[in-house]
Structure 1
Amino acid sequence: MSLNVEVLEQSFEKVKPRADEFAASFYDNLFQAHPEMKPLFTKTDMKNQEKKLLSSLVLVVENLRNPEALEPVLKALGARHVGYGAIPKYYGPVGEALLLTFEQYLVENWTPEVKKAWLDAFRAITGLMLKGAGKESLPQVIQADKPAILAKLVQSENPAIAKSITLKAETQKESQLFKSTAEQEKKSLISIQLDGEVLKEIINNFTANYQQFQTKISEQPLSEVVKKIPRKLIDAFWIAPTWLVAIVSAVVFTVVLLIVDDNSLLAEALGAADTISLVVALVLFIKEAPDRRKQFHYQAWSTVDTAHDVKVSYARILALQDLNEDGVSLRGLDAPGAELVDINLPHANLSKANLMESDLSNANLSYANLDNANLSQTKLSGANLSHAKFGFARLNQANLNSANLRSANLVCADLSHANLSGADLRDASLSGANLEGAYLTGANLKNAKVSDYELSNAFLEGAIMPNGSLFIQT
């Protein structure tokens, strides 16, 4: 939808001088026309709620010319409102109250053109918020069902592989429930039991695959078939059960041993008694690498969970760093009051994490995702937070003294009474952020996306403003 940006900007500028009154009037109009909505705000500080409304309006109007940045913010806002009890039918009354309030404050400037501009804008905003609300309520995938689903997907093409996937999943569940790690280690290198039916099925499947392979060779150029073989072998290696990989490895080794010249150096090397065991052990070591990595991740998370109520834990720091290096998501990490000084977590996913009152001084969180995180009263002085995401994060009373927040996304973040003195906020996005009582003395805000309204209640002595000028208190 094409919006009349100039009309929206000009009309909103006329309302700004009476912004606080405007917000209060909006809620008066809403509750008067729709009293059934008032219970949604029974436990809400209305003064703070009015400020949030104004911040949201400022955010929207300031980013009308930058829809790429505005769209994800509005979707996130819609998702958050699901938790507040907001349902689609409430959006209509909100729009009516908003238009009525604009009409009351613009008076003769409330022309049909202005009305249409705001109506179109509200429809566009509502559409994006409802998309966000829809995503928030999508059902979650149950991890335990994945092996069975995967088996069904491949069953039509390869029944043996499908059966092996299901068998592997069931075996892993049983071993985790009934066997300790020590008992698993006592198992011999290769222990295989095959009844006649299973062996017959494997042979039949191999014959069928071989016939298909011959057909493909006759139908396609040999070069094309050969190119596909390595990829198919690799896929089969990771999908096949461990016992089958062990058998194939032993058979391949035996075939090589039979065809090689008895007098050659290779034959002497392969002819050693323990060579076959070493080859099979090496193949199994590679095959089971992902399972070992998973076990390592379980142990790392166990370390993090064990240190939950411990303030100082070097093991927790190492575990979190190792998990992040392996690309494991740290979303929802619960570590309030933890001492994490100098921790190195670049590009980490810490969205919705609870790090309230934690000490992250001099931490490296560059490019990290901290959207919706609770960082209230957290120590982040000297931390590297460049290009990090703090959308809707709680940073009230946080210590961000001399922190590197260059190009950080702080859209709609709560920075009330935070210490940002000396912070590098160049090119940062602060649209819709709450900066009431925030200390920005000596901070560098050059090219930052923030309005005068958002900065009006902050302490700015000696700060470099977005336009590059030095703020001097008059």
Structure 2
Amino acid sequence: MSLNVELLEQSFEKVKPRADEFAASFYENLFAAHPEFKPLFAKIDIKIQQKKLINALVLVVENLRSPEALEPVLNALGGRHIGYGVIPKYYGPVGDALLMAFEQYLQQDWTPEVKLAWTEAYRAITALMLKGAGVETTPNVVPDEKEVTLKNTSATQTQLINESQPLPPQTEQQKKPLVSLKLDGEVIQKMLSKITDSYQQLQGLSFIQRLGEVLKGILETFIDNFWAQPAWLVASVSAILFLVIYVGADDNSLLAEILEGADALSLVVALVLFIKEAPDRRKQFHYQAWSTIDAAHDVKVSYARILALQDLNEDNVSLRGLDAPGAELVDINLPGANLSQANLNKSDLSNANLSHANLDNAILSHAKLSGANLSYAKLSFARLNKVNFSSADLSNANLICADLKQANLSGAILKNASLSGANLEGAYLTGANLKDAKVSVSELSAAFLEGAIMPDGSKYHSPKSSN
């Protein structure tokens, strides 16, 4: 969907001066129309929630021209909302309340074009959030009046009737096939077309080339079956093939001399089994590595844990949800690691290599990351309050909506970093390099910026120091 970015940006700029009032009106509209939503916010400070709403809108509007950065953040946000009890059918009422708030504050500037722009934007945002929540199909959120037809009403009534009916007995469910395959005319046509194309491609090749393609297909089938079949069957087939080759070999040939060895058969079978069981050995190694990590849970210093984490990451094993609070992980090498939702509260990651790592939604409060390499790292929605990032490399990092309250970022490199919606209250950015960083002046106003290089390349000097 192509969004009217300029219209969205212009209209939002008119709302920003009264952002707090706008957010309060949104929740008033939502609770007035749907009081059943109030329990979802019973244990939440509504003032903080209003601030989060504004931060989310700032995040979206400021990144409309960078959808590649916005998509993973909205996916993650949708996943988080599932944990809050938000289900797909809630998105429609939320959209209605949001558009009503825009209408209330834009008034004469709330033109049909602006309404359409925000409606389409909300639909796009909702689709990305629902994708992150694991919902493949997007419900009809904020429909236009033109789209509300008798057909839609009938479909909705049918859906409600179906939802109100009890589930069928278990015996009836078991009668259904586990996998159903529907072959309609279009699917058959595609299959025939693919076969025809493959045949035509082979027809255009020479005999040697065609033979090569056939052998390639046989080899691919053999490899697929090799890994799919049990080890005993692979070993038996290998032994039979060995005997067939041995019987058919010329007695005076070099092959016959090699095969005449007494242990040749056992060596062949042993080699096949060694290759076949390699994945199982790798799995066993991974289990042992995780056991080492689990055993060191309450241990502050464990070199074995560092090696285990590095080995798992080298094998592209996800470290998502790692629970290692207070761990000493100095100089650890985890480039590209998936540490999303990890708990590394109060851990020491000084001089760690976490470039391109995924730390979305991770807990790193009070952690030590001085001198760490976090270039291109994903840290959106991460809890980074009071983290020591002094002299760390955070260039091109994604810190959207991260909590950086009172974090020490003195001397940190934040060139081209995304900080939209981040909480920088009391953050120390003295001497930091923020050139070309995506962050607004209002967001930076709550931080200490003495000597910092600002996004426009200028050097910040406080009014007091200039006097």
TM-score using structure 2 length: 0.77
Could you tell which deviates more after superposition, 29-38 or 230-239?
29-38
Q: Does 1:253 align with 2:242?
A: yes
C-alpha change, 1:4 and 1:253, in structure 2 (3 Å) is closer
CA distance in 2, matches of 1:253, 1:473: 82
Partner of 1:323: 312
Q: Which runs of 5+ in 1 are unaligned?
A: 138-151, 154-219
CA distance in 2, matches of 1:229, 1:124: 46
Q: Does 1:75 align with 2:75?
A: yes
CA contact (8 A) 1:79 1:135 kept: no
Q: How far does the alpha carbon of each residue in 1:20-77 deviate from its partner, in whole angstroms, 9 at most, with x for none? A: 3333343344334443322211211223222211111111221223334333332332
Q: Percent identity?
A: 76
Query: 1:315: how far off?
Result: 0.7
Query: 1:247: how far off?
Result: 2.5
Q: Give the AA of the match of 1:359.
A: D
Q: Does 1:240 align with 2:229?
A: yes
Partner of 1:52: 52
Q: Does 1:437 align with 2:426?
A: yes
C-alpha change, 1:59 and 1:223, in structure 2 (3 Å) is closer
CA distance in 2, matches of 1:114, 1:264: 84
Query: Pick from 214, 226, 239: which aligns with 1:225?
Result: 214
Q: Does 1:7 align with 2:10?
A: no
Q: Give the AA of the match of 2:78.
A: G
3-state SS of the aligned residue for 2:390?
coil
Query: Pick from 433, 458, 467: which aligns with 1:469?
Result: 458
C-alpha change, 1:246 and 1:473, in structure 2 (3 Å) is same
Partner of 1:27: 27
Q: Give the AA of the match of 2:31.
A: F
Partner of 2:376: 387
Q: How far does the alpha carbon of each residue in 1:80-131 deviate from its partner, in whole angstroms, 9 at most, with x for none? A: 2121122334334433433343344445544454444434433443343334
Could you tell which deviates more after superposition, 40-49 or 422-431?
40-49
Partner of 2:167: none
Query: 1:423: how far off?
Result: 0.9
3-state SS of the aligned residue for 2:421?
coil
CA contact (8 A) 2:381 2:403 kept: yes
Partner of 2:279: 290
Q: How far does the alpha carbon of each residue in 1:364-388 deviate from its partner, in whole angstroms, 9 at most, with x for none? A: 1111111111112221111111111
C-alpha change, 1:28 and 1:352, in structure 2 (3 Å) is same
Q: Which runs of 5+ in 2 are unaligned?
A: 138-177, 180-208
CA distance in 1, matches of 2:451, 2:136: 42
Could you tell which deviates more after superposition, 287-296 or 27-36?
27-36
CA distance in 1, matches of 2:253, 2:114: 91
3-state SS of the aligned residue for 2:321?
coil
The count of aligned residue pairs is 395
CA distance in 2, matches of 1:251, 1:94: 68
Q: Does 1:361 align with 2:334?
A: no
Partner of 2:330: 341
CA distance in 2, matches of 1:226, 1:119: 56
Q: Give the AA of the match of 2:440.
A: S
CA distance in 2, matches of 1:232, 1:32: 63
Q: Give the AA of the match of 1:126.
A: T
Q: How far does the alpha carbon of each residue in 1:281-320 deviate from its partner, in whole angstroms, 9 at most, with x for none? A: 1221112111111111111111111111111111111111
CA distance in 2, matches of 1:309, 1:459: 36
TM-score using structure 1 length: 0.76
